[in-house]
Structure 1
């Protein structure tokens, strides 16, 4: 897969969530992680990171949104339940992207949302845990930009669309 990605969070108040996000980012091959204006005195997020991601994936901490520095050409993608946001299954991930999640209770700040090139939402009825939301976004990026074979339409069946003369919805029998 060409390109790179990073993932981070704004206004985090639970260090354990950052550690879990970093561990998952490490597993999915993130280039770096970041925090913006963390609302915690505890700066050692690694204690909840059981994969030692801190030794493999750089973590940058920025005091505020204005200080957030990204590589040239890197799109900032906010993950937030907002009225105008793009549903994740319909989103085309940029090749160079930094994904940012909001705080556990407040979401993305208006300043961060305004800075984002795209705002994407996971189509759920309510918000998810920060590290779980990050994992879903990274997984979606992997399957949409990765080089995987198409899934079959039916178990053990073809991957091509059904011929035009076949009508109805396939049902799993088993």
Structure 2
């Protein structure tokens, strides 16, 4: 996969949510993870994460938005349910991106939204858990940049051409040669 990405959360307060989000970030190949204005419990205790992602990707705790230090060229992408946000299925993920999600029972701050180059939303009826939202966004990024084949127009998996019968010509599902 080309490019890189990071995942972060603003104002996160629950260690289990941080651990689940970090596990997803690790599983999808994030380059680093970050928090901004996280609850003190988060900054003092290691996240609850069974993949031990902190041993595999750096974790940055920035006290405030002004302290964020993203790599040059990295576009900040906010994940938030706003009227003007781009629906995730219509969004082209930047090659260099840092995704930031809002806190539990809250939203990205107006200051964070202003800092974002893009605001995207998962087209749901209401807000979902931060770790679940992060996994959906990362799956979508993986789908877009993973160089997969286009989805078929009908239900099911990829359609592969059937092998020609060893005596030449197409075959039916039964293996018998099609007359004609």
Which TM-score tier does this pair reach, normalised by the shorter chain? 0.7 to 0.9
**Per-residue Cα deviation, 1:108-132 (whole angstroms, up to 9, x for no partner):** 0011000000000000000010000
RMSD: 1.4
Distance 1:3 1:124 in 2: 28
Alignment match, 1:171: none
Alignment CA distance shift 1:157-1:32 (3 Å): closer
CA distance in 1, matches of 2:158, 2:121: 32
Corresponding residue number in structure 1 for 2:33: 33
Alpha-carbon distance, 1:150 to partner:
2.1
SS in 2 for 1:51: coil
Q: Which runs of 5+ in 2 are unaligned?
A: 161-180
**For residue 76 of structure 2, what is the aligned residue in structure 1?**
76
Q: What is the match of residue 112 of structure 2?
A: 112
Where does residue 87 of structure 2 map in the other structure? 87
How far apart are residue 2 of structure 1 and its match? Answer: 1.0
- The equivalent residue for 1:164 is none
Whether 1:135 and 2:135 are equivalent positions in the alignment is yes
| 1:39 Cα deviation from its structure 2 partner | 2.1
* Unmatched tracts of structure 1, length 5 or more: 160-174
TM-score (norm 2): 0.84
TM-aligned CA deviation for residue 106 of structure 1:
1.5
CA gap 1:78/1:53 in 2 versus in 1, 3 angstroms: same
Aligned residues: 158
